[in-house]
Structure 1
């Protein structure tokens, strides 16, 4: 059986690509729009759309079960790695199998937080334990503070309990550094 294929399809695709390129370069008016250099990606939003209550292992029970990514369920590193995988931002490095929080390294390190970064505390800094601590940066506020999503940080938000979600605002300067993945 012989099938007839249309030769029009490649021309339709080419026409669509050409029309899209025209609109990108010249806009709907047909006039060139001035640019100040190469086109760059849009800045990160001021807050994230990540829902921290969607953490896969929030109801996990048992004594220290692994999450399949190299961490114990409901630990700060398990939650932070999950948040990086789930936040929808483009990332160039994997947050999996990096060890304790104090050992984490990202694709870039900064003292200036951005939404989607991981705030990292060295061991013993600001009350962290001997393994350090990590938290997901959910928002960067105008008052010099960041909103953090994290596990294993005892706060009023979680009734001072470990192994549960905490959402808190902290001074951006509290973290030892910010890791970008």
Structure 2
């Protein structure tokens, strides 16, 4: 390819991850999440984003990591995801958001076929920058599960999602 790709980097535990900036709608400070009953553990609930209920997933839980308390660095990355149902807007919790970086195609290796507690299908590649590895995630695959698709369509099916107004 030979052209640069831009990625938003963030942390979960001690690992650095990245997603394509082209799928990032915005980054929010942590906001209270309205829990929905009988959803998967990694589906934390919904947030009110300018009057629209956006489902939020906890990447730590999705990846089998222990939960940690919310800190001042905890962020919600709002993403545009392409699933079999079309475009979905979904929030993903991150321990902290770092920066936008550029990686050339030659600095990205294919996903490894072993190790790590992430399913290989979730990894788009492994980037190398300043001597460190960055796990580039395929958010379309991670977030286009049936559970997430079902919750993202609640407000379009005539079901009211309880959204509490935030005064931040």
- Which protein is richer in helix relative to its size? 1
TM-score (norm 2): 0.29
- Which protein is richer in strand relative to its size? 2
Q: Whose relative contact order is higher, 1 or 2, with alpha carbons under 8 Å and at least 6 apart?
A: 2
Larger Rg: 1
TM-score (norm 1): 0.28
